[in-house]
Structure 1
Amino acid sequence: MRRLLLALPFALLPLAIAHAHEDHDHDHDHAHGSLAAHEHGAARVNAVLDGKALELELDSPAMNLVGFEHAASSDADKARVAAVRAQLEKPLALFALPKAANCSETDQELQSPLFGDQPAVDDDADEAGHDHSDIHAHYRLQCENPEQLKALDLGPLFKAFPATRKIQLQLIGPSGQQGVEATPANASITF
């Protein structure tokens, strides 16, 4: 039951994002007015704090993280994919959380066609026939002192993957739901 409650906000967030884009006329480079589209340089992070449980979800075009979207065939490409996967396996190095919150990882799931766990290419291709590959990371953390979680800082994520120029960040926490477009210069949101 608890997992269902934690999954529900993630299911509703795309609707909230789409609705927010309908309500506001942003002068940004959103493909078709929504981040649901595959857009190089843009990613999405969802964060839900429920009691001591913190769930983080990252969705990004592979281009932002790896630098390409094709199946890795050369040794250099395979090494790059392995290096990025190793970075993604350390969420506490990518998401800056206050040490006083005493958060530790309890579970993670990484998915991408580049990791060999899905077909080589996503079903969507743009008008020019280019294939798209995405990377999805889902983390569960246990925070012993959740009241110390004052902010979520994506600065380390931007630093690790500099091709990512903006992140649509949605957060559900004790003070409700909020969303921002984070950039390297403005990379945090308060809980």
Structure 2
Amino acid sequence: MKYKITTLYYILATVVTVIPLPWWYYNAGDIIRVEDSPFQILITFLGDRLILSDVITFLLTGFRIYVFVILISYAVQAARGNPKIYSTMFWLPVLYLLDPVILYVLFNFIPQLFDVPMNYPLFFFGTETISSNIKGEQVKIEFVMYPTYVYWLSLATALLYPFSRIEIKRRK
């Protein structure tokens, strides 16, 4: 096998694609809970599953199948010595690092539009209690946010991508 790193990258990316588990978990005081990945999303509000998350997951399943088919065909081509470049499974976990930044903007700036100051930290993994003063009353909400092991697997797989590109460039 001429392109071992590239073939391994595509095989591991395929495995990540078919794992039906979320990449990130978010919970805001058990009011809203979100479990998501680029291929599925589960949103519960006050303990009830939102139908919108099922609709979005249905659409994302099409994306999952598309990525899966591309990865399988590119793995076969790389194993045969004719590698192609497909960077989607590199960029997805890297761009997921923007999630904490998006949440920071949402929880710090949008509440201020309604005169509800919050002090949401930019980055945290685990549990954080956020307090705010709403109309003279102190409100505390426990936020939980962490990447799952599937996310770490996808990020580790993404780290193979630059080496795959180097391997392809050197051998051609």
Pick the TM interval, shorter chain. Answer: under 0.3
Instruction: Select the structure with the greater relative contact order (CA < 8 A; seq sep ≥ 6).
Output: 2
More helix by share: 2
Larger Rg computed on CA atoms: 2
More strand by share: 1
